C-alpha cells in the first residue's frame, strides 16, 4: 500500500487514508491496514490514537513515540481535537446541530451525540455537506445524517441502495462519500495549536465536480 503523508515529524505523522482501508486490525483482519503501511514507510514503531471507518477517507494522525501517543489519545478522549468532514448526501439537511443520542459501540446504550451540519451546495436531490462532530461516537456522522433523512451516498449500512447504485453507475463512485478533511489539535511536544487539511481527491472529487458542487475544501 502506498502511504500518502500530509505531514511528518519526530512525534507524529498525518496521513491521507484511502477509502476501503482499515486503520488497524481489530474487528477486521485484512491483509493490509494503514498502521502497518505507515510503520513500514517510516521504519518506526507507530501508535494509533484514533480511527476512521473503513469507507471514510482523509486525515489520520498516528504517534511515533509513547508520550505523543498518550498526549494525543487524551486529546481525542477529552474532545479537544477539532474535526471537519465533507459528505455527499441524498437530501438537503438544514444547517444547525443534530443532537441525537446513539450507541457508542454495537449493542451499547445510547449516549449523547452532537454534530454541527452546514449545507454547502445542492444539485437536484443531493447536497454537499460539512459535518463537524462535537462528540466522538461510533458512526456518528453517518447515523446523524440518516436520522435527519439525508443519508450519505455509498453508505451500505445506513444509506439507500437505489441512490448508491445510481452513483456507482452514473459517476463511478464505488465508495462511501465521506471524507475527513481537517484535524486540529495541540502539538504533543510544544502545546501549539496546529491544524492539518487533507483535500478531497479521486473518485469522490470527480463526482462532486460532476455534480457542479465545486471544490469542497474551498467551502469557507
Q: Cell 469542497: give the residue.
A: 216
Does residue 220 lie in a domain region? no
Whole-prediction pTM? 0.94
87 with 162, same domain? yes
The pLDDT-based confidence of 106 (bands split at 50, 70, 90) is: confident
Does residue 210 lie in a domain region? no
Residue 159's CATH number? 3.30.2350.10
Marked catalytic residue, from 16, 53, 186, 220? 53
99 with 164, same domain? yes
What is the average per-residue pLDDT within 112-122? 96
Does residue 176 lie in a domain region? no
Does residue 17 lie in a domain region? yes
pLDDT score at 216: 60
Q: Count other C-beta atoms under 10 Å from residue 131's C-beta.
A: 25
Does residue 205 lie in a domain region? no
Q: Is 8 exposed, middle or buried (0-12, 13-18, 19+ CB in 10 A)?
A: middle
101 with 67, same domain? no
39 with 75, same domain? yes
44 with 92, same domain? no
Segment 7-40, tens digit of pLDDT: 999 999 999 999 999 998 665 677 789 999 999 9
53 with 103, same domain? no
Segment 166-199, tens digit of pLDDT: 999 999 999 999 999 999 999 999 999 999 999 9
The residue range of the domain holding 151 is: 82-171
User: CA–CA separation, 85 vs 101, rounded Å?
Assistant: 20
Segment 60-75, tens digit of pLDDT: 999 999 999 999 999 9
Segment 73-105, tens digit of pLDDT: 999 999 999 999 999 999 999 999 999 999 987
How many domains does one find in the chain? Answer: 2
Query: Active-site residue 16, yes or no?
Result: no
118 with 73, same domain? no
9 with 58, same domain? yes
pLDDT score at 217: 56
As beta bridge partners, residue 150 has: none
52 with 96, same domain? no
pLDDT at 219 over 60: no
110 with 160, same domain? yes
Amino acid at each position: 500500500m502506498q502511504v500518502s503523508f500530509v505531514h511528518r515529524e519526530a512525534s507524529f505523522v498525518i496521513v491521507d487514508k484511502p477509502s476501503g482501508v482499515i486503520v488497524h486490525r481489530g474487528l477486521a483482519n485484512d491483509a493490509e491496514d494503514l498502521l502497518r503501511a505507515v510503520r513500514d514507510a517510516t521504519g518506526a514503531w507507530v501508535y494509533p490514537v484514533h480511527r476512521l471507518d473503513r469507507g471514510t477517507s482523509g486525515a489520520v494522525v498516528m504517534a511515533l513515540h509513547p508520550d505523543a501517543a498518550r498526549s494525543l489519545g487524551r486529546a481525542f478522549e477529552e474532545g479537544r481535537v477539532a474535526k471537519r468532514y465533507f459528505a455527499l448526501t441524498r437530501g438537503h439537511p438544514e444547517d444547525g446541530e443534530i443532537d441525537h443520542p446513539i450507541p457508542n459501540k454495537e449493542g451499547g446504550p445510547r449516549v449523547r451525540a452532537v454534530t454541527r451540519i452546514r449545507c454547502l451546495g445542492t444539485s437536484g436531490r443531493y447536497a454537499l455537506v460539512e459535518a463537524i462532530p462535537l462528540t466522538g461516537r461510533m458512526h456518528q456522522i453517518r447515523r446523524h445524517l440518516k436520522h435527519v433523512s439525508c443519508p450519505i451516498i455509498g453508505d451500505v449500512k445506513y444509506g439507500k441502495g437505489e441512490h448508491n447504485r445510481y452513483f456507482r453507475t452514473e459517476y463511478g463512485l464505488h465508495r462511501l462519500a465521506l471524507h475527513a478533511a481537517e484535524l486540529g489539535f495541540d502539538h504533543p511536544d510544544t502545546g501549539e495549536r496546529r491544524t492539518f487539511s487533507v483535500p478531497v481527491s479521486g473518485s469522490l472529487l470527480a463526482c462532486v465536480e460532476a455534480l457542479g458542487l465545486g471544490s469542497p475544501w474551498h467551502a469557507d
